[in-house]
Amino acid sequence: MNTIQQSDVFEINQLLALEKGKQNRHRFLEIVEKLSTIRTDDKYPHNFIYGFPGIGKSYEIRKHLENSGTRHVMITGNVSMFAFGVQIAVINYLNPNQEKVIVFCDDVDTLVATESSCNILKSALHGPKLYTYEKSLQSQWSNLSELQKEAIKHHQDDEKMGFQVPTNSMSFLMVSNIQLPTDDEVRTAREKNKSKSSLLAHKNAIRSRCMVQDFSLSNAELWGWIADVVLNTDCLAEQNITIEEKEAILNFLWDNWLYLTERSIRLIEKMTIISIQGSVDSKFEYENIEDKKVLKKYQSETLSGVNKIIVDQYINYTKVNKFTFPEKIEIKTNFIHYALKFIS
């Protein structure tokens, strides 16, 4: 059983969050380590990993696949189902011996965006294990490379439109910032609105064909995950900051979590770069936290009469009007000074 040790830097709630975040992150790393042992003839050779963006999921997967020498191909971005199919065709064309290859689909949410795309993906994952594109290629043909054209011709049937690619040798690894619905979520959606439940049912069918790893995290667990990366990896090696500076940044994130516009390892990297460059008085000015605190508290105050009218008009005025940068600075300064008269 893990014990939480006392710390002069972090409070007990932070230490508990750090421990929980570390457990979740290490569970994720254990799953990543097993990727290279997956066999395409396993009953469920495909994985769908969900988790918050910016916490190092894709980086750790790429690092493991490269270091382990696992044969893999990476597909990223919002690719169309046609573009996805072209890449699948090239993968299979260049793999005549049908050796196992992991198809790492990173943040490719378009694969489950529509009922049509879900149907194509379902067929590729299970059952016939075929990627099927049944439309004319005429409009896209001129945009393809010679290798892509060769790969598609290799998978065409003269009697059918489009092309088909066997996926028997492929293990699909999909990493996404969106969740696939559970059985209960589909059932609830059907009870409320049958017309809107159809796509959820198709996404749920994708879920049933994969080993699903869900890394939904609370705010505290997400902070703990990020803290574990910052304190126990070399992610900030290039910035060459001290352990004390790391701890100060993590404490800042903890204290101001609700005011942050992003919550990720990338935010910490940007904050350290700004601090090193000395481009602002404080590394923490990156997120304009103090302004947000005043605004949030000011808006939550119970004001009445003329004060409330002035506040509402002031806030709406800054929202609907376009200002130059100097005007924004002046308006912001006046607003904060006015707000501080009522907030202590």
Q: Which of 233-247, 261-275, 298-312 has the lowest mean pLDDT?
A: 298-312
Q: Total domain count for the chain?
A: 2
Instruction: Write out pLDDT tens, residues 40-67.
Output: 989 999 999 999 888 999 999 999 999 9
Instruction: Write out pLDDT tens, residues 284-326.
Output: 444 555 555 555 554 555 544 445 544 555 555 555 455 454 4
Residue 147 has a CB neighbour count (10 Å cut-off) of 13
Q: Which of 96-100, 144-148, 159-163 has the lowest mean pLDDT?
A: 159-163
Which tokens hold the place of 60?
């750790």
Q: Mean pLDDT score of the chain, rounded to an integer?
A: 82
* 2 in Cβ contact with 37 (< 8 Å): no
**Are 98 and 198 contained in the same domain?**
yes
**Are 144 and 33 contained in the same domain?**
yes
pLDDT for res 278:
53
Residue 220 lies in a domain: no
Q: What is the pTM of this model?
A: 0.77
Work out the pLDDT band at 255, boundaries 50, 70, 90: confident
159 burial (CB, 10 Å; 0-12 / 13-18 / 19+) is: exposed
Last residue in a domain, options 215, 250, 276: 215
Domain that holds residue 328: 300-344
Residue 259 lies in a domain: no
Last residue in a domain, options 164, 192, 215: 215
Alpha-carbon distance values, 338 to 5, 247, 308 (Å): 45, 34, 12
**Are 60 and 159 contained in the same domain?**
yes
**165: domain CATH number?**
3.40.50
Last residue in a domain, options 215, 249, 281: 215
Residue 245 lies in a domain: no
